[in-house]
Each structure stands twice: as C-alpha cells, then as structure tokens.
C-alpha cells in the first residue's frame, strides 16, 4: 500500500519546489525593507560551497555543514550589507549584482578549494546519509514495506517540508512583531520610519543578513540534494529566477513568494510544452507584472480582504448559532 | 608586444565606451538603468550577421539595418516596459529596473530561437584590411572603432550642449516636470533618448561583430554587465565618464592578461563596481547627490 | 495573517496528497518482470533524458535522432523490442534529476540513456546507481563519470582519451617542443580538457610557455593571443568548445599566428569551418567519429541519417546511434529486461563494432576505443597523417 | 526651557536657507514658527530632527546636544514630528501606523518576537492598548482597521499626530497640521492641540493659518528669507512692524487672512 503511494519522482519535484520556496522567502525578507538584491545567487552559492567543502574535507556532520553554510552566507551578508547600505535603490541592486558575479568568478578560480569549473561532486546526500544512519540503528526500508530509494525521497521531502514550515512560521511571526513592523515601515517610507525612531541601518542590515542567511541555507540544502554543484549553478540567471518568485507572487506578504515559487517551479513540470518558452515567459512576466501589478499577485489588500471575509463568515456563523439557540429557546 | 596590447586594450575599451554611452544617456535623462541595453546591442550584432553573412549584402547596409532594428527595439522598450510605469502611483523606483531585466531575458531567448545558440560568423572583407607599422599590425576595423567612439562622444556632447533638441533633453534630465512646464514635449524627448541609446548599442553590436567575428545570444549579457560597470565607474549620466570608464576597463582587462591572471579578467569590472560604489558612489565624473535631494 | 498561514499549509498538504495519489495510479511495482513475448524477442523500456529545449536543444536533437534511427533498425531485426521514453532536461540539473526519477519510478524503465551534459550526469548518475538502474551517457566527456558507480557507463570518449591522441600525433609530426595553452576556465568540459592537456604536456616533456584562460561569452581574445604569439610556441593546445574555438582561431590567424592548434573533442565540429573559414585550417582534433571515413557501415549510416533528417550526422548523433546498438546487444545477451542482468551484460561488452569503430567497456564502465585523429586541411576534415 | 536653537545657519550649495537663527522653547508651551513660504521653517524642522546637519550652529534639547545625532536617536530623546506633505505608511492599517510610532519605546527583538515570549506578548498588548487610546484621543478609533491610504485628508493629518504621540515625545513638532483642512476640521485640530497641551507636552508648530496660530500659540518666532525677524506673544507679533512688512509685501498671497 505504502509502496505504491510513494513515488520518488513527485517527491523530487516537491523537494525542488520547497527549496525554491526557501529561496523565495530569502528574497522576500530583503525586499521587505525595500532593498533589491541581485546577489542572492551568490549567497546561495556561498552556502552550498561552504557546506559541501566542510562535509567532504573535514567530515563534519551534514547538519553542522548546512548550518555553517547558512551562517557563513549570513556573515557575508552583514559584510556586504554594512558598507553598501549607504547605497540606495538601483545602486544597491547593481552593487549586489557585482557581488554575485565576483563570488562566481571566485568559485571558478579558487581551484584548491572549489575544484573550479569542474565543480564538486559526491557531496553527501541528505537522504542517503540518513538511510545509512538508520540502517546502523537497525531500521531499513523493507520494515515498512518500501524500497530504500522511496525511503530516501520521503525523508528528504519530509525534512525539507518541516524546515520550510519552520522558516515560514518564523518569518510570519517576525512579520507580526515589532521587527516586522519596522521592516514594513522602512519599506514604505524610509525617512518617516527613521523619524518615528526606527534605527534604519540596523534593520536594513538585519534584513539583508537574514535574506543572505536563508539563501545560503537553501544553497546548502540544494548541494546536499543534488550531490553536485558547480559555479554555473549560481550565475546571474539564478539570481533573476529567485527574484521572479517574489516579483510574480508578490513581495508584500510572505504568501507571495511562496506562491510564486510553487507556481513557477511546477509550471514547466506540468506543462512540458511551456518548458521551451520558459525564459521568454519569465521575461514577459517581469514586464507585465511591473506594468499592471508591481506589488505581485498576492498583496496586502488581498490578504486584508480575505481576512475580512473570514471575519464576516465567522460573524455569520456566530449569528446563525445565536439565532438557532433562540429558536431552540423559543 | 606592449604596444600591440595597448592597441588591443584601446579597441576593447572603445567598444565598451560606446556601449556605456547608451546606458549613460538613458540614465542621465530618465534616471533608469536599462538592463536590456546589452540585449539590444546583441540584436544589432545579429543584424550584421544576417545582412553580411546570410544575405551576403554589403557592410554599409548592415549598419543601416542594425540601426533600424535597434531603433524599433528601443521604441518597443519605451512603449511596453518603461512608459506604463512612468508617473504611476505606488510604483517604486526599482520597477523599471525589474521591467528591463524582463525585456533582457525575453530578447536573449528570442535570439536563441531565431538564431540558435551557436556562434555566427560575420564575414566581411573589410575586417581583413590592415596596416603594418614595424612589427605591429593595426587593423582598419580597430581604427574605425576608435574613430566612431570618439565621433559619437564628441557629437553627443555637442548635440547635448549646443542644439535645441539637446538642450531640451538636458532640461528633461534636470527635472522632468519643470521641463514639461517649460513647454518641452517630454514624452517625445524620452522616446528619442531611448531610441538614440538603442541605436548606439546597435552600432556597437555591428562593430563588435566586425572586430571579433563572434556573435552569440549570450554576448548581450556579458557586454551589458560590463557597460553597467563602466557607467558606475565613470559616473552615471556622464558622457565623459562613459568614455574614460570604457577605456579604463578595456585597458585594465587587457593588462591583467599581460601581467598575470587572465582567470580574473571578468571579475575586474565587478570588483570595480563594488569599490567605486563604496569609495566614490557618484563615480569618477558624476555629480555628488546633494543633501537637499534626500 | 495567522489564518493565511494555516491556509497555506493546507494548500501545501493538498498539493502533496494530490501528487501522491496521482502517482498511485501509474506506478508499477518493480518486482514485476516481463521475460518478453513468446517468440524470443525481449521487450524493454528504455528512458532517454536529453536537452531538448533551450540553448542546447541542437545537441539533444542530434542525440535523439541517433537513438530513433538505431531503434527503427533494431526493431526491424526483431531480436529486441525497445520502447524509448524521452524526457527533456532543458540542460538543468534539477530538471534532469526529476526526469530520471520519473523514468525510474513512474515509467519503470530498465535503463537510462543520457543526460546530455556532464553536469547533469553528475547529479543523475548517483541516483540511478543507487536505484540499480544502469545508465549510459552518450555525450558526457568530463572526467570521473563512470567512476560514480557500477551501473554508470558511457560510450563517449573522454577528453583524457582524445586529447593525448591528438597531442602526441601533432608533437610527432611537427617535432614540437614548446607549447602554449589556452582554455575556458568557467566551463566544466573545457576545464577538464585543460587538466588533461596539462598532464599530457608534462608526460611528453613539452615546455609550456604560457597558460591563458578565457570565459564564456567573451568576444575578444586578442589580449591572450598577443601574449601567446610573443612566446613563439610550436603548437597551441586549446581546450575550447567549437563556438569559442572557431573565433579564437579566426583572431589568431588574423594576428599572424600560423602554428597548428590542437583541440579536444569539444572543438570537433563542422561548425568550426563554417565560422572560421580558412582560418580553421591547421586544427588537429581526436574524435571517435569521422563521417568522411570510407568504412561501409559509416557510409550507410550517414546516408540513412541524411535521408531521414536532412543533415549530416555529427558525433553526438553517431555516439547515440552506437549506444543504442550496444544496449540492444547487451539486452539480447541478458535475455530479459532485468536491470541487473542488463548491467552485467553491458559490462561484458567487448569489441563491439559500431560506426565509431571497435568499442569495449573497461572495468569502470568507461569506453575503450581508438580515437581517430583529424585535421582541417583545405577547408575539410581529413585524417591526420 | 526645553529646546534651545543656537545660531543655526544652513547653506544648500550657494543658497542660504537659514542665517543665524536662534530661539528657545519653554516647557509646556505651544511655540509657533511662522513666516512666508520658503522662509526656512521646514528646513529648521529638518535640522532639529537631524534629517540633515546644519552648516553651523547647534540644537540643544534638555541640556543634550541634538546636532550630530541620528534622526531615530532624536526621536528616542523625546522629539517627534509630523510632515508637511503627510508621510504615513500607506499600506498599513491605522492601528499599525500608531504601533510603529511606539517603536523606540519598546524593545522586543527578533527572537522574543518569533518565540512569542511572555514579555513580548505583554508588550504587544500594551502597544495595542496605547495605540487605541491615542486613536481615541484623535478621534479615529472607528477606523483602526482601514488602510491609512484610504483615509480622508484631515483624518490622515490626525493619524500622523497620533503616530508621533505614540513615541512619547516631550516635544512635538507639527509641520502645517491645518494645511488643506476645512473650517470644521481646523476647529477640531485646535481642540486636539489643546488636549495634547494638557498632557503636559510642549509643541513647536509651523502653520500658515493665522487665526489658528494666534489662538493656539503662547509665543512665536517669525522667519523671513531664512532670518528671524521677530519673536514674542501673539499680541506682540500682531503689532510688529517688521512682520507686517514681511507679510504685506506678499499680500497677494493672502498670508495674514
């Protein structure tokens, strides 16, 4: 029964969707203070390479490697964020674009560490490592009646799902807290925010570093799921792709980039004919969104309306219950 | 050898400078970075391939076709990607950047479909012409590129400072609203700017095809990023900055090959971007942003 | 927001369930084996992963054409009945991996051919190997691929085989002592090629005067070439794909560099002549495939291919064509569509005669064959003597 | 004395926006800053709140030098402002706008917000309570869930005041709060300012509406072409020849209406 239900193909696609959701969240956080980064592919690469290198060369456990990858990317984010914060708008975007390219060129040339353009292969795979670990404890896939590759896919998917949900709830909660309000205020009007007592430098660096950290985290996960990375995985095109998740889905609320990542990743998988024109469609999406709906498909207003609708509904049900009670009473 | 390398650097630098002129013009007037400029440049180059190689027609015609096609692309860029965003409430200043990135991706992949991913040859007998001075060979193409770069810079400076249309354009650059109050047809001026910038890109495309015999859909991205680096280096909106910045980048890319690590050649431009933005954000020839504009 | 978040979770959950139940319908249990129909032919499902959309669609097209042509012929012979199931990877690792999962789990194929790029192979092969599905690359030349696992094969000759052959022939003929190396350092193929070149130059005792690099999308190679020209090498070892390689030769010849160029397999394409014209003369490459060969088998293949698809087959088409024949041969010997049986039979392939020549697999699953050294002379590829 | 502005001069390029301007504001009073358009009033506000630095001179607030501090630090010191061209956070609700105002008086960070610690929950409760109190004060309690962008003009002005009050200022800077208001709204504003004054707050007010200024201010200073030309009680100002001159010279603009 279980064996027939679990298909590694669908789980694989879902796993990539989840990674893209994490990437979408990473750009969303940076954008939530009104900063546009074209360097997220660079942060993703730093996370991926750091984790791959420490797990292969120093035999660190996977979880340590992944966390280290995220942290190194986050620290780089602070390093890049602090000085570039003096830059506004397009200047920041261009500076981060430059950063991303420098990182890629570094991966290519620092052969001793990164093996250059050939890339790093045989990176420990999350699922395979786990299954090996489980086997040592005496648990194998046959015990629940599935094949080991099914178990691997399920484990990878579940881990990613849990991680993604944790991340989403982290940032949803942050959004609703004092920090999130500061982010939103800075995005809407920087000088007004500062006049209201918000230390904009601190919060902008915080957002930039959080974005970099999450991108690095996604990169590290990516490395341990494909088991192979090379510099060309973290090029300018990747940065644009990450940006599109937020531009398309919406950058005002976290549901936006999540929706964007789900839709845009599954689209070519569901419609193979679309695949041919994928990038042209991306281009059209960017232009059309800017012209007709610059805030993305899902925005504050939509969320607000949904909330009201639900409130009304709740109200209605309460009213109905009340009236029923009355009926019974009478 | 150093002399030859100097010539190589100047040739490359001149091309960079021409590409950067297009960026700087659009930024100067509209305050927008046109991320699609590199792809328009690439289309100019492909027009050269189509005319000289596929249709076997003369080189002069290639320039004409490239100018016509890139002018059209500029027009579409303005009408589709830029005008709808202008003056709209709630549109951030990043919107045009994202929108032109969209155009650039679209054009790059359109070129893939039309022309294939491979390299296209660009055969003209003109590119074989050369003069021998001592042990140094100078190609006619190199001289032409250098001449066109200088010519474009001088005529653009002249046009901007001396002609009526140019003055109107500068008025737009100073303040769009004020210019429109003074009776300048800003819509027309903006369109003119974008078209002129695109045409300059198209000309650069044909020149690159002539000089290096190498035209691919990917060339727009790498050239575009270099052009971007140059206007940041030279100062956004500065014609002189674009020229000097272009030459500096061309020469330093050549020199890094001469003296050492050709592997880091591509990184120079981006390292330059980061350093200049941190040390002197207005660039070498740019005006510092006054406090009052905050 | 809280409700929205819960809603989102619900969406994800539904999405997952929908996909999982969707697969419930079409996944077959892997235990089931068909030993073929009664008349002795073996029915086998073979998955193909190829780059069919995007920048490299040209490669994928040649490869799938090669497979199809071979499959029609094999079907006519009637010993094995191969059903090809083709998936597009778009040149991306993620999509290649998803495609492989689909083929292995939803389609339940016995064997995978492809994917097109070495980068994709490095992601797909470990997964196939783990699942015990034999996989054979037909265009993946980077080093380290057959070493991924027991189930991983390739019939495309690696640069480590092609480049030494080309270099030693050239060194012998021109009595070369000093060489300059030029390579693309941001591409996995050209970088692997360079690593081999460096090793070969050392082994042959050649003096490397200078090593220069270039990057994708670069149009101007004058700086590197001027530097190389100044060192006056006897040969230039150039690890480039034909696109860049042709432009490099064009600029080099214009500059007055007239020494021969030795390239890797990636440099080998009729396109070089199309792009560089006369400047292409003097290129020396080693290749598994020479369409101009007088061999009867080769000529029939070229004619048939031309008739079917309207253009000359390139090495990708030829390698794909031979790959399917090798596979058919192995399946015939295995006598079933069992994955392990096919793997064992493949590994035993020895002295197989194809359009590329005589092929065997070594113990790692890498191809063993003699590459042909070609040169461009008078605007044509010709055997190098 | 709560605020002391000492010999402030500000140059923009070649233009002298303010020349040697000094004045003092006493604890608990409403101090008016008036003058024709372009006299440098908003520039003075921007210098007090450090939106940009003065060329020379300094600002002292309860014995602390404000000059050289960052805008957010000045808010923390207890000086908060509204803007001439309303600058609310348009995509936030009315309530959220006021909660942002309390930023510098609250302290919860990333982790306490994400983990919803008890201290953070209590803080959020008090933030909301205080925000609602302030909305009641300015008369917007009915609209707390509307987007700031959708409010009427006069309501936006009042919301801005509530947002500034949320930062617990000792000194409130109001930049033309009555601009664009009709008579009724102006009257409401007058009452609001009276109420705020009763909360033991000092107010520095830029305003063009002379009847309002004369009614509400205890003292005022008059700027013209970047220079202070007069200072005193409304009565003194009304009869000051220099002021009459400055305004009469531009009578067509109807400044003294």
* Structure ipTM: 0.88
In terms of DSSP bridges, do strands D202-206 and D171-175 run parallel, antiparallel, or are they unpaired?
parallel
Residue A60 to residue A66: CA distance in whole angstroms? 10
Residue C113 to residue C309: CA distance in whole angstroms? 21
Nearest CA in chain B to C183: B263
User: Helix, strand, or coil here: B192?
Assistant: helix
pLDDT of C23 higher than 50:
no
Shared domain for D102 and D161, answered yes or no, is yes
Phi, psi dihedral angles at C373 (to 5 degrees): -95, 125
Chain A nearest C-alpha distance from D237 (Å) = 31
Candidates A15, A141, A155, A39; CA nearest to A99 is: A39
Q: What is the pLDDT of residues A2-26, one digit of tens each?
A: 677 788 899 999 999 999 999 999 9
Residue C118 to residue A116: CA distance in whole angstroms? 15
SS3 content of chain B, % helix, strand, coil (to 5): 75, 5, 20
Q: Do A94 and B221 touch (CB under 8 A)?
A: no
Chain D nearest C-alpha distance from B289 (Å) = 11
Q: What is the pLDDT of residues B170-186, one digit of tens each?
A: 777 777 777 777 777 88
Shared domain for D92 and D149, answered yes or no, is yes
Chain B residue set in contact with C, beta carbons under 8 Å: 1, 4-5, 8-9, 11-12, 112, 116-121, 123, 127-128, 137, 139, 208, 211-214, 216-219, 221-223, 253-254, 257-258, 262-263, 265-266
Q: Which residue did the predictor score with more confidence, C53 or B232? A: B232
pLDDT of A190 higher than 80:
yes
pLDDT of A207 higher than 60:
yes
Shared domain for D158 and D84, answered yes or no, is yes
Shared domain for A202 and A312, answered yes or no, is no
Shared domain for C264 and C283, answered yes or no, is yes
> What is the number of other CB atoms lying within 10 angstroms of the CB of residue C205?
8
Q: pTM of the entire structure?
A: 0.90
Chain C nearest C-alpha distance from B286 (Å) = 29
Q: What is the pLDDT of residues C137-152, one digit of tens each?
A: 998 888 888 999 999 9
Residue B128 CB burial class (10 angstroms; 0-12, 13-18, ≥19)? exposed
Q: Provide the pLDDT for residue C25.
A: 40
Mean pLDDT check: name the lowest of A167-181, C33-47, C128-142, D145-159: C33-47
Write down which residue in C234, C261, C287 finishes a domain: C287
Mean pLDDT, rounded, for C226-255: 91
pLDDT of C19 higher than 60:
no
D249: Cα within 13 Å, side-chain hemisphere: 10
Query: How many domains in chain D?
Result: 2
pLDDT of D250 higher than 80:
no
Q: What is the pLDDT of residues A103-121, one digit of tens each?
A: 999 999 998 899 998 899 8
CB pairs under 8 A between B and D: 10
Residue C330 to residue C317: CA distance in whole angstroms? 20
- Give me the domains of chain B, ranges plus CATH numbers: 2-117+136-293 (1.10.3470)
Task: Fill in the DSSP letter of residue A125.
Answer: P
Mean pLDDT, rounded, for B49-72: 91
Q: Provide the pLDDT for residue A45.
A: 97
Residue D68 structural domain: 1-75+210-257
Handedness of CA D247, D253, D255, D257 (dihedral sign): positive
Using omega within 30 degrees of 0 as the cis cutoff, is the peptide bond preceding C207 cis? no
Q: Do C58 and B120 touch (CB under 8 A)?
A: no
- In our burial notation (b when 16+ CB lie closer than 10 A, e otherwise), range A69-94 reads bbbbbbebbeebbeebbebebbbbbb
Nearest CA in chain B to C224: B257
Write down which residue in D152, D169, D186 finishes a domain: D169
Nearest CA in chain A to D93: A304
Q: Do B105 and A101 touch (CB under 8 A)?
A: no
Q: What is the pLDDT of residues B80-112, one digit of tens each?
A: 999 888 877 666 778 899 999 999 999 998 998
Find how far residue C304's CA is from the centre of its chain: 22
Mean pLDDT, rounded, for A35-54: 95
Task: Fill in the DSSP letter of residue C178.
Answer: E
Q: Provide the pLDDT for residue A18.
A: 97
Give the whole-number percent of chain C exceeding pLDDT 90: 53
Shared domain for D164 and D100, answered yes or no, is yes
Mean pLDDT, rounded, for A243-249: 92
Residue B146 to residue B10: CA distance in whole angstroms? 8
CB pairs under 8 A between A and B: 129
> Which pLDDT band holds residue A251 (cuts at 50, 70, 90)?
confident
Handedness of CA D183, D184, D185, D189 (dihedral sign): positive
Query: How many domains in chain A?
Result: 2
In terms of DSSP bridges, do strands D219-224 and D15-25 run parallel, antiparallel, or are they unpaired?
unpaired
pLDDT of B238 higher than 90:
no
Mean pLDDT of chain A: 88
Q: Provide the pLDDT for residue C10.
A: 58
> Is D51 in the B-facing interface, judged by CB distances under 8 Å?
yes
Give the whole-number percent of chain B exceeding pLDDT 70: 95
SS3 content of chain C, % helix, strand, coil (to 5): 50, 20, 30
Q: What is the pLDDT of residues B192-212, one digit of tens each?
A: 889 999 999 999 999 998 888
Chain B contact set for C229 (CB, 8 A): 1
Domain assignment of residue C101, yes or no: yes
Shared domain for D3 and D69, answered yes or no, is yes
Candidates C126, C73, C106, C29; CA nearest to C329 is: C73
Chains D and C touch (3+ CB pairs under 8 A): no
Chains C and B touch (3+ CB pairs under 8 A): yes
Shared domain for D87 and D164, answered yes or no, is yes
pLDDT of B289 higher than 60:
no
Find how far residue A125's CA is from the centre of its chain: 20
Residue C71 structural domain: 42-157+296-369
Mean pLDDT, rounded, for A209-214: 97
Q: Do D13 and B290 touch (CB under 8 A)?
A: yes
Residue A83 structural domain: 2-297
Find how far residue D202's CA is from the centre of its chain: 10
Shared domain for D97 and D67, answered yes or no, is no
Mean pLDDT, rounded, for B202-229: 89
Domain assignment of residue C274, yes or no: yes
> Which pLDDT band holds residue C207 (cuts at 50, 70, 90)?
very high
Best residue of D11, D12, D14 to probe chain B, by most B CBs closer than 10 Å: D12
Chain B contact set for A291 (CB, 8 A): 80-81, 84-85, 99
pLDDT of C165 higher than 60:
yes
pLDDT of D165 higher than 80:
yes
CATH number at residue A79: 1.10.3470
Q: What is the pLDDT of residues C314-367, one digit of tens each?
A: 889 999 999 999 999 999 999 888 999 999 999 999 999 999 989 999 999 999
What is the residue whose two structure tokens read 């927008």?
B32
């Amino acid at each position: 029964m279980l064996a027939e239900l679990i298909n590694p193909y669908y789980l694989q696609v879902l796993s990539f969707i989840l990674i893209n959701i994490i990437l979408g969240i990473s750009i969303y956080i940076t954008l939530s203070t009104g900063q546009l980064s074209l360097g997220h592919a660079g942060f993703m690469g730093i996370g991926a390479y750091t984790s791959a290198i420490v797990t292969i060369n120093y035999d660190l456990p996977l979880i340590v490697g992944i966390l280290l990858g995220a942290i190194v990317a986050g620290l780089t984010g602070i390093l890049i964020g602090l000085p570039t914060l003096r830059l506004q708008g397009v200047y920041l975007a261009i500076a981060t674009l430059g950063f991303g390219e420098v990182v890629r060129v570094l991966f290519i040339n620092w052969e001793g560490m990164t093996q250059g353009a050939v890339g790093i292969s045989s990176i420990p795979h999350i699922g395979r490592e786990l299954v090996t670990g489980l086997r040592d404890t005496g648990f194998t896939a046959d015990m629940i009646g599935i094949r080991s590759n099914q178990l691997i896919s399920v484990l990878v998917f579940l881990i990613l799902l849990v991680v993604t949900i944790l991340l989403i709830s982290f940032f949803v909660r942050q959004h609703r807290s004092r920090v999130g309000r500061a982010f939103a205020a800075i995005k809407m009007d920087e000088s007004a925010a500062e006049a209201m007592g918000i230390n904009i430098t601190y919060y902008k660096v915080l957002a930039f570093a959080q974005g970099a950290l999450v991108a690095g985290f996604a990169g590290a996960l990516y490395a341990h799921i494909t088991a192979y990375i090379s510099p060309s995985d973290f090029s300018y095109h990747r940065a644009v792709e990450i940006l599109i998740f937020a531009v398309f889905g919406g950058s005002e609320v976290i549901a936006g980039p999540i929706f964007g990542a789900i839709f845009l990743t599954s689209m070519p998988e569901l419609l193979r004919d679309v695949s041919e024109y994928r990038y042209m469609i991306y281009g059209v999406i960017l232009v059309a969104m800017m012209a007709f709906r610059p805030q993305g498909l899902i925005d504050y207003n939509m969320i607000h309306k949904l909330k009201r609708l639900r409130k009304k509904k709740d109200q209605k049900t309460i009213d109905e219950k009340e009236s029923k009670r009355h009926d019974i009473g009478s | 050898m150093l002399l030859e390398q100097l010539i190589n650097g100047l040739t490359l630098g001149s091309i960079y400078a021409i590409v950067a002129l297009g960026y700087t013009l659009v930024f100067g007037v509209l305050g927008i970075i046109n991320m699609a400029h590199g792809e328009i440049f690439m289309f100019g180059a492909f027009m050269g391939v189509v005319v000289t190689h596929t249709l076997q027609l003369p080189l002069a015609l290639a320039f004409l076709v490239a100018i016509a096609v890139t002018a059209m692309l500029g027009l579409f860029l303005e009408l589709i990607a830029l005008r709808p965003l202008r003056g709209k409430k709630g549109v951030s200043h990043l919107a045009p950047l994202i929108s032109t990135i969209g155009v650039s991706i679209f054009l790059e992949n359109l070129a893939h479909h039309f022309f294939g991913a491979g390299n296209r040859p660009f055969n003209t007998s003109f590119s074989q012409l050369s003069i021998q001075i001592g042990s140094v060979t100078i190609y006619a193409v190199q001289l032409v590129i250098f001449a066109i770069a200088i010519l474009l810079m001088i005529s653009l400076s002249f046009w901007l400072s001396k002609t009526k249309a140019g003055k109107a354009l500068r008025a737009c650059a100073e303040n769009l609203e004020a210019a429109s109050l003074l009776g300048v047809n800003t819509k027309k001026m903006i369109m003119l700017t974008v078209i002129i910038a695109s045409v300059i890109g198209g000309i650069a495309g044909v020149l690159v095809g002539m000089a290096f015999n190498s035209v691919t859909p990917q060339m727009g991205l790498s050239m575009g990023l270099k052009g971007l680096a140059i206007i940041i280096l030279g100062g956004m909106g500065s014609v002189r900055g674009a020229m000097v910045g272009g030459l500096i980048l061309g020469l330093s890319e050549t020199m890094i090959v001469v003296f050492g690590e050709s592997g880091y050649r591509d990184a120079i431009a981006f390292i330059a971007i980061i350093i200049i933005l941190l040390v002197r954000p207005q660039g070498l020839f740019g005006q510092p942003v006054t406090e009052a504009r905050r | 927001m809280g409700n929205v978040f819960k809603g989102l979770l619900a969406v994800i959950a539904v999405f997952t369930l929908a996909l999982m139940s969707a697969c419930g319908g079409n996944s077959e249990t892997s235990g089931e084996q068909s030993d073929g129909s009664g008349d002795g032919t073996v029915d086998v499902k073979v998955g193909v992963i190829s780059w069919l959309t995007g920048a490299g669609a040209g490669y994928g097209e040649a490869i799938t054409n090669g497979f199809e042509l071979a499959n029609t012929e094999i079907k006519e012979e009637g010993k094995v009945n191969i059903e090809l199931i083709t998936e597009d990877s778009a040149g991306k690792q993620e999509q290649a991996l998803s495609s492989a999962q689909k083929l292995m789990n939803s389609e339940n194929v016995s064997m995978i051919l492809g994917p097109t790029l070495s980068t994709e192979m490095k992601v797909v092969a470990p997964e196939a190997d783990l699942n015990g599905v034999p996989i054979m690359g037909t265009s993946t030349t980077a080093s380290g691929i057959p070493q991924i696992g027991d189930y991983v094969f390739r019939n495309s000759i690696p640069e480590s085989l092609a480049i030494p052959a080309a270099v030693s022939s050239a060194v012998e003929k021109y009595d070369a002592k000093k060489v300059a190396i030029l390579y693309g350092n941001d591409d996995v193929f050209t970088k692997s090629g360079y690593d081999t070149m460096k090793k070969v130059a050392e082994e042959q005792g050649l003096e490397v005067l200078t090593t220069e690099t270039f990057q994708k999308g670069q149009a101007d190679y004058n700086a590197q070439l001027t530097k190389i020209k100044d060192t006056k090498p006897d040969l230039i070892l150039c690890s480039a794909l034909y696109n860049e390689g042709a432009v490099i030769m064009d600029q080099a010849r214009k500059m007055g560099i007239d020494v021969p160029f030795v390239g890797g397999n990636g440099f080998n394409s009729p396109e070089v002549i199309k792009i560089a014209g006369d400047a292409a003369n003097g290129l020396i490459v080693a290749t598994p495939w020479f369409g101009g060969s007088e061999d009867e088998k080769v000529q029939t293949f070229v004619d048939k291919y031309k008739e079917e698809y309207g253009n000359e087959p390139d090495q990708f088409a030829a390698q794909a064509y031979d790959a399917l024949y090798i596979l058919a041969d192995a399946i015939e010997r295995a006598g079933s569509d069992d994955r392990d049986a096919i793997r064992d039979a493949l590994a035993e392939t020895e002295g197989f005669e194809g359009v590329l020549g005589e092929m065997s697999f070594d113990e790692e699953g890498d191809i063993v064959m003699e590459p042909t050294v070609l040169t461009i002379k008078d605007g044509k590829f010709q055997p190098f003597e | 004395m709560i605020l002391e502005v000492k010999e402030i001069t500000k140059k923009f390029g070649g233009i002298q926006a303010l020349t040697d301007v000094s004045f003092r504001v006493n604890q608990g009073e409403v101090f008016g800053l008036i003058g024709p358009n372009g006299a440098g009033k908003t520039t003075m506000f921007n210098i007090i709140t450090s939106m940009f630095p003065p060329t020379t001179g300094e600002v002292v607030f309860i014995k602390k030098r404000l000059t050289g501090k960052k805008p957010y630090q000045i808010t923390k010191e207890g000086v908060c402002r509204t803007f001439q061209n309303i600058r609310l956070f348009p995509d936030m609700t009315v309530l959220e706008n006021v909660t942002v105002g309390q930023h510098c008086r609250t302290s919860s960070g990333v982790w306490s917000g994400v983990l919803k610690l008890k201290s953070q929950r209590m803080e959020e409760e008090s933030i909301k309570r205080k925000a609602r109190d302030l909305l009641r004060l300015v008369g917007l309690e009915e609209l707390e869930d509307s987007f700031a962008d959708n409010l009427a003009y006069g309501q936006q002005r009042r919301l801005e005041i509530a947002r500034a009050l949320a930062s617990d200022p000792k000194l409130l800077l109001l930049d033309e709060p009555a601009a664009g208001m009709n008579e009724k709204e102006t009257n409401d504003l007058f009452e609001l300012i009276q109420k705020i004054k009763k909360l033991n707050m000092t107010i520095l007010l830029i305003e063009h509406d002379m009847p309002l200024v004369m009614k509400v201010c205890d003292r005022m200073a008059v700027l013209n072409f970047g220079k202070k030309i007069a200072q005193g009680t409304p009565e003194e100002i009304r009869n000051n020849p220099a002021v009459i001159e400055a305004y009469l010279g531009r009578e067509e603009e109807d400044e003294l209406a």
